[in-house]
């Protein structure tokens, strides 16, 4: 299930939402001020896999070297 990160354009609150389907994205509101003026942010992801030889790989995109909790912190 996709989890999207949003920022409210009214109060600047950053939050995440589990969104199912493109129609659901249109109904996202800010949990702080209830505004519908929200913008979807680009978020990185993290994944780990291990090969049969025991080598562990990390998969990521975006701000892999950034120490922020989300890409919203990179502004």
The predicted pLDDT at position 51 comes to 72
First-last CA distance in the chain: 27
Residue with tokens 């030889």: 53
Instruction: Answer yes or no: is 65 within a domain.
Output: no
Cβ neighbours of residue 11 under 8 Å, at least 6 residues apart?
30, 32, 33, 35
Instruction: Answer yes or no: is 53 within a domain.
Output: no
Q: Could you tell me the residue range of the domain that residue 19 belongs to?
A: 1-46
The predicted pLDDT at position 3 comes to 84
Instruction: Answer yes or no: is 52 within a domain.
Output: no
Instruction: Answer yes or no: is 31 within a domain.
Output: yes
The predicted pLDDT at position 61 comes to 47
Mean pLDDT by 10 residues, the chain (75 residues): 89 91 79 95 71 62 52 54
Instruction: Using alpha carbons, select from 46, 48, 9 the residue that is nearest to residue 30.
Output: 9
Instruction: Answer yes or no: is 39 within a domain.
Output: yes
Instruction: Answer yes or no: is 6 within a domain.
Output: yes
Q: What is the CATH number of the domain that holds 40?
A: 2.20.28
Instruction: Answer yes or no: is 63 within a domain.
Output: no
Instruction: Answer yes or no: is 57 within a domain.
Output: no
The predicted pLDDT at position 53 comes to 72
State the DSSP H helix or E strand holding residue 25, giving kind and residue range, or none if neither.
Answer: helix 22-25
How many domains does the chain divide into? 1
The C-alpha atoms of residue 16 and residue 42 are separated, in whole angstroms, by 11
């Amino acid at each position: 299930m996709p989890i999207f990160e949003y920022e409210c354009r009214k109060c600047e609150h950053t939050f995440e939402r589990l969104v199912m389907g493109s129609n659901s994205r249109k109904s996202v509101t800010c949990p702080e001020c209830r505004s519908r003026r929200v913008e979807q942010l680009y978020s990185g992801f993290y994944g780990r896999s291990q090969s049969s030889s025991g080598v562990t790989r990390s998969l990521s995109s975006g701000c892999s070297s950034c120490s922020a909790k989300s890409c919203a912190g990179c502004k």
